[in-house]
Amino acid sequence: QLSGLADSQLDGLRSLQLTALSDSQLDGLSSLQLSGLSDSQLDGLRSLQLANLADSQLNGLLSLQLTALADSQLSGLLSLQLTALADSQLNGLGSLQLTELADSQLDGLSSLQLMALADSQLDGLESLQLSDLSDNQLGGLRSLQLMALADSQLDGLESLQLSGLVDTQLNGLRSLQLTALADSQLDGLSSLQLSGLSDSQLNGLRSLQLTALSDSQLDGLSSLQLSGLSDSQLNGLRSLQLMALADSQLDGLSSLQLSGLSDSQLNGLTSAQLSSWADTQLDGLRSLQLAGLADTQLDGLTSLQMAIFEDSQLDGLSSAQLLALADTQLNGLSSAQLSALADTQLSSLTGAGRMAGLTIAQLQAVTATDIPTLTTTSVTALLAGQVTALTATQIAAMTATQLDSLSVVQVQAIATSWTGLSANTTGQNAWTAAGLTTTQVTALDALHGTGTGAMSVLWGV
Residue 65 lies inside a defined structural domain of this protein: yes
Residue 451 in any domain: the answer is yes
Q: How much is the mean pLDDT over the chain?
A: 89
Instruction: Quote the number of domains for the chain.
Output: 3
Q: What average pLDDT does the segment 389-408 reach?
A: 98
| Residues 105 and 153 grouped into a single domain | no
Residues 144 and 217 both lie in one domain: yes
Last residue of a domain, one of 221, 249, 272: 221
Q: Give the pLDDT band (50/70/90) at residue 33.
A: confident
Give 37-42's long-range contacts (Cβ < 8 A, gap of 24+).
37/10, 37/65, 38/11, 39/64, 39/65, 39/68, 40/15, 41/10, 41/11, 41/13, 41/14, 41/15, 42/15, 42/18, 42/68, 42/69, 42/73
Identify the band that residue 31 occupies on the pLDDT scale cut at 50, 70 and 90. confident
Whether the predicted pLDDT of 327 surpasses 80: yes
Q: Do 169 and 117 fall within a single domain?
A: no
Say whether both 130 and 117 belong to one domain. Answer: no
Does 130 share its domain with 211? yes
Is residue 53 located within the same domain as residue 137? no
420 and 403 share one domain = yes
- pLDDT-derived band of residue 48, with 50, 70 and 90 as boundaries? confident
What is the predicted pLDDT for the residue at 10? 63
So what's the pLDDT on residue 451?
A: 86
Q: What is the mean pLDDT of residues 334-361?
A: 83
Q: Which segment of 94-98, 314-318, 413-417 scores lowest on mean pLDDT?
A: 94-98
140 and 94 fall within a common domain: no
Of 221, 254, 278, the one marking the end of a domain is: 221
d(CA 347, CA 320) in angstroms, rounded, equals: 10
Q: What is the predicted pLDDT for the residue at 21? A: 72
Domain carrying residue 145: 126-221
Q: What percent of the chain has pLDDT over 70?
A: 95
Residue 272 pLDDT > 60: yes
- When mean pLDDT is compared over 62-71, 103-112, 231-240, the highest value belongs to 231-240
DSSP assigned state of 175: H
pLDDT for residue 23: 67
Listed range (153-157, 211-215, 284-288) with the worst mean pLDDT: 153-157
Answer whether residue 252 is part of any domain.
no
Residue 356 domain-assigned?
no
Q: Identify the pLDDT of residue 84.
A: 85
Label residue 426 by pLDDT band (50, 70, 90): very high
Q: Is residue 403 part of a domain?
A: yes
Q: For residue 87, what are the CA distances in angstroms to 66, 82, 109, 112, 420?
A: 12, 10, 10, 9, 108
Residue 282 included in any domain: no
> Are 5 and 110 within one domain?
yes
Residue type, 185: Q
Residue 76 lies in a domain: yes
CB-CB neighbours of 48 under 10 Å: 11
List pLDDT tens digits, range 231-250.
999 999 999 999 999 999 99
**What is the per-residue pLDDT for 71?**
81
**Does residue 350 sit within a domain?**
no
Rounded average pLDDT over 430-446: 97
Pair 112, 130 in one domain: no
Question: Is the domain of 30 the same as that of 56?
Answer: yes
Which residue has better confidence, 256 or 4? 256
Are 152 and 88 contained in the same domain?
Answer: no
When pLDDT is averaged across residues 73-89 and rounded to a whole number, the result is: 83
Look at residues 77, 93, 121 and tell me which one is the last residue of a structural domain. 121
In b/e form, how buried is each residue of 223-253, taking b as 16+ CB within 10 angstroms? bebbebbeeebbbbbebebbebbeeebbbbb
